[in-house]
Structure 1
Amino acid sequence: MNNSKNEQNITKELSTHILGMLVNPIHTMDWSIKKLSKKCTYILILLLSFLYGIINVLLMQNIAKTAFKYIDTIMGNNYIFGLINKRLMYEIDNYMSWSKIFIFEIFLFFISCIIIFLTTYFIFKYVFKCDIRPLCFLQVIVSSFVPFIFYTLLQLILSYISFPLSLCAVLIGFILSIILFFKGLCGCTNVPQDKILMVVPISYVVMLIVDLAIIKVI
């Protein structure tokens, strides 16, 4: 009975937090710093990683199909090229391991969160000599990614209509996440905002470098 009640409480907390980050992100970010539970934070990381993996696989599949359709349109009724194009589509659909891509995207998202966390923690702890709560940083990072995942989903939907619009959607999500990350760090520490403003791009640059290195190796 207690386990069932705890699960309901976590589900309610999680759904309320996600909805709040989409509807009223600034207020919800302040709330998450003070009240978001550790368990809910960990579940949110796993949930966002899973969603990121699914969305990116579907997005890649749509991009591949759209590219081949565009090539078909350009080449017109060229019979030989049409056969080659269809063969390539068959190879992609049947031999490209979408499951491996899905797992890789989950891994990449998870690693991105960890890299931002470690970079931020190191700077505040050892450069600014600031007393911090590691969980608070993790809550800020994960919460700031909620709008990004939502806009990534919007990117997927818009990609079936217009690729430029889909790119605008993910760009808006990325900018919003950076702003929320900054606001969250301001609420976590007493460090002046001008110093925090330097930490945000450093954390993201380190994340991008590590992500690119992993993609290159794999």
Structure 2
Amino acid sequence: MKFLQVGLVIFVGIALMAAGCVEATPGDGSSDTPFWVKETTAPAGTPTTTAILDSEYVSPATPYPATTTPAKVPASRQLPENTQDKPVYPEVLRETIDLKGEAHAWTINATYPPLIVDIVVTPETETRTIVYQSSYGDRDEEKSTVTRISPNSHLEVTIRDANGNIVAQDGFNGKYTVGRSKQLLVLRGGAYQVDLRGTAVVADISIKIGKIEGENAVSV
């Protein structure tokens, strides 16, 4: 029995010494060139506003085909910046839409101008984490995180008159700027169609007209 115990102790000792003699195998070496780890964050798709659709002035419509060439759009005009001179117009449409490549359209009866279309865009974003080894000292691992708008995120809103002519157009990303608040303004009364299309964005759209029957625009 003692012989077995002594043999077991000797065996364990030899195993431990053998393990201590094993050296870690060097890797393939490290490089100062960073590699990228990408995470994509989709925009929140839950509506944050109460939907409004005044059926007397707004009705669903069939979107026009997407334009393939830049439209000749009249120069845009801005509402007065001074809030004392800026009237409050009745809102006939408000909706939050999670756009995934489809198009939406509405016919707007804007007998009393102006027609104002406001869009707030929340795009999909990409977060990239750069992991690299420092070129100084002990060459410790360094990390840096960069967030940018996804190249897939884009939006376009177009206003056409009763003859199908484009009277105002703007958008987000692509051939447009990446400003997240857009406003389109039409100063002539009439019937118009508003087309909204986009991908990988959430759009908060609000449409106002000059006044509705029996009500006037109220100044602030």
Under TM normalisation by the shorter chain, which class is it?
under 0.3
Give TM-score, length-normalised by structure 1.
0.19
Which protein is richer in helix relative to its size?
1
Larger RCO (CA under 8 A, 6+ residues apart): 2
More strand by share: 2
